[in-house]
Structures are given as C-alpha cells and as structure tokens.
C-alpha cells in the first residue's frame, strides 16, 4: 500500500441492511457473506484508514451528497446516482468534503462473522 497520509476515521456511521450466507448458495463460498450497508458521512467525514479490497470485492452506490474516493493520489467525486467498483486492485480511502451529509449503499463479500 501507499505511504499516503490519511486522516483518522471520523463522522461515519454504518447501518447493516442485509446479509446472505453464501455457503449454501454457491459452492466454494463457505464462510462468506454478501453484505449490504448504508454508510452516512457527515460533513468533513473520513472513512479510512487507507485499505484494500483483496478478498472483499464490492460495489458502492451514492444515494445523496458527494463522496470523494482517493486512489493512487487521485481524488474522484461521486454524486447521487453514481456507483463504482471496489475490486482486488482497489487501495483507497473516502471522505465527504461537502457541507451536507452524504449517504452511500455499500455491497461487498466478506468473511462471515
């Protein structure tokens, strides 16, 4: 991962919306879940630390506000109605630079808790 300095996580709340145990659904997926969360980013919020998605692929969809995704030194803004992938090559952190809250839906494959 990069040596990029990332502020500490702050101002982000996460609500678990649903999970599906993938073991009974797909051969070879024992111990894995499909997870859907709603994350709310208050103004100035940061979701770090810098992290990857190796073994934890997903997609994100912005419901409201603007989320800034930082990857490889490039900041990309995603507004309402826009989604993006998070695959094994993703190394990033997120923030809300705006003066209003931002909300995203995050769906990923995770190790079952």
pLDDT tens digits, residue range 63-113? Answer: 999 999 999 889 999 999 999 999 999 999 999 999 999 999 999 999 987
2 versus 25: the higher-pLDDT residue is 25
The predicted model scores a pTM of: 0.89
**Which domains are present in the chain?**
10-111 (2.60.120.10)
Share of the chain above pLDDT 70, in %: 96
Tell me, what's the pLDDT at 6? 77
Rounded alpha-carbon distances, angstroms, from residue 52 to 21, 81, 97 = 23, 24, 22
Share of the chain above pLDDT 90, in %: 86
Rounded to the nearest angstrom, the gap between the alpha carbon of residue 74 and the centroid of all alpha carbons in its chain is 17
Other Cβ atoms within 10 Å of 52 Cβ, number: 14
């Amino acid at each position: 991962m990069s040596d990029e300095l990332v502020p500490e996580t702050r101002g982000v709340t996460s609500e678990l919306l649903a999970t599906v145990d993938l073991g009974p659904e797909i051969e070879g997926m024992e111990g894995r879940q499909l997870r859907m969360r709603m994350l709310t980013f208050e103004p100035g919020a940061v979701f770090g630390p810098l992290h990857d998605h190796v073994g934890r692929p997903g997609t994100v969809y912005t419901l409201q506000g603007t989320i800034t995704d930082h990857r490889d030194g490039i900041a990309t803004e995603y507004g309402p109605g826009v989604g993006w992938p998070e695959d094994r090559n993703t190394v990033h952190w997120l923030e809300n630079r705006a003066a209003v809250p931002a909300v995203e839906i995050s769906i990923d494959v995770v190790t079952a808790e």
